Amino acid sequence: MKHSELQSPLKSIKMRQRKNGSSIKHPNLSDAEAKSQKKSPYSLKDVFLTCLGFRMLNALLIQTYFNPDEHWQALEVAHRIAFGYGHLTWEWEEGIRSYLHPMMFALFYKLLALLRLDIPCVMIKAPRLLQSIFSAVGDLYLYKLSFVLFGDGVAKWALFSQLANWFMFFCFNRTFSNSLETTLTLVGLYYWPSVRSSLNKAPSGSRKWGLALAALACAIRPTSAVTWVSVVLGITCLLDRLMYDSWVLVPLNFLKFNFLSSGGDYYGTHKWHWYFTQGFTVMVFTFLPFCVAGIIKSKYWKLSGLILWVLGLYSILGHKEFRFVLPVLPISLIFVGYSLAALDERDSRNGAKKRSSCICNKWPSRKQLAIFFLLASNIPMALYMSLIHQRGTEDAMNYLSKEAAKGKVKSIVFLMPCHATPYYSTLHNNLPMRFLDCTPNKGMPTESDRFMMDPVSFAVDFAKNWSHPSHIVLFDSEERHLKDFLISHSFREVRRFFHAHFKVDRDLQASVVVYAD
């Protein structure tokens, strides 16, 4: 048996000849998998290492701020657990967040501290590098799931689509619970029997793995129950009992707040059709026509129905965000892989006909045009969003972290909308810091709201009770109003960081400015 036949993207197994000359099949592989594994030229190890290298580079390239939850609901909580200081937002007081996800980063922080690597440059980059390992596992299982369902031709193009998609590049390596939820969803779907066709049965015992992974996804982020209608592992209840110091049913509180009481609407609402007309279509981006074509050609309604189910159920909620439906984006890209594989097969047949008739064609094939179109549209988008758009708040905190390590920062006040920057998890220095509170208060305007309505009046009143900070951080859009206030309190500009070329949900915040006394 050739070496290439031994390396399967499903699971590498050694096949030895026995007394009767027959080969032994691994007991956990179905007949369909055992037959199809010989057709793949790629090994599981090669696929994973390629994905890991790509995702680690991806993690290093992400230098922008996307959503506060990446820092405030994961790393900030983990930093508090590991080092004893860090801010807990109101959600933790209400018991609607589980400690299971931030605990992984807390253990990682502890390891860095033990190795004496908890220095500014490492603390800034290391969490996303850790996330890159989880992301690479998700990429691997996308390949494995595609391979089991449709074969190697579709699997390699589905993996290409996942790696090339701008939103996966931009979001998958961020430390959101949604990112880990996406990986667990892909692994769980691979082991879930009902996803496969009757001719391609799941390995024995896979239902238990699928159930366990689905439960873990629900434990990390309760909204994963939209995808996995399953039980939540008891371990998360025990962990939350330990951390909250009382019995707290986080999934129940989370679902009550977000689904039953529409508490998430405080952060803004969208039309019911937003995911279909804007949100998810922007995420899929130029892969959309290939996705639709793949769904129609494959007629695999189990997976396409799952996408529709998730988008439809999330559409009921008033508050909508791109990352909420991240777990079904890779599933859509599997259908893109199906469509590209069909083009590949068609081009191969046409190529064979042309060679047989001695006709030379200098024009690129349809597959080549499709690949060029996808890369040319997604790579610039991925790089712009990851390297340029909204990077000022991260750059400002990275700068302050290094200055604090040198003893040049004593205290910081953020005169800007709440949660607009990373916090102690990036600064990694137990200095007094103050940001404008935005805890929901039954329709009453928060500190952040009042500041945005009248920056000057708020700042004057705020300064009456502050302990004079050494640094103030604000956007240039508010700086215009507060210039006289800053000068009167002996502050001067020390650094200015580019932030964005266009506005997102407020006035254009073109730069972030750091003032010092």
Q: Is the pLDDT of residue 200 over 70?
A: no
pLDDT at 30 over 50: no
User: Average pLDDT, stretch 336-362?
Assistant: 71
- pLDDT surpassing 70 at residue 21: no
Fill in the DSSP letter of residue 498: E
Mean pLDDT (whole number) for 36-65: 87
**What are the boundaries of each domain within the chain?**
44-350+365-388, 391-516
Going by pLDDT thresholds of 50, 70 and 90, the confidence category of residue 3 is very low
Three state DSSP letters for 415-476: CCCCCCCCCHHHHCCCCCEEECCCCCCCCCCCHHHHHHHCHHHHHHHHHCCCCCCCEEEEEH
Residues contacting 199, CB < 8 A, separation 6+: 32
pLDDT of residue 363: 74
pLDDT, residue 474, reads: 97
Three-state SS at 339: helix
247-261, 381-395, 432-446, 474-488: least confident range: 247-261
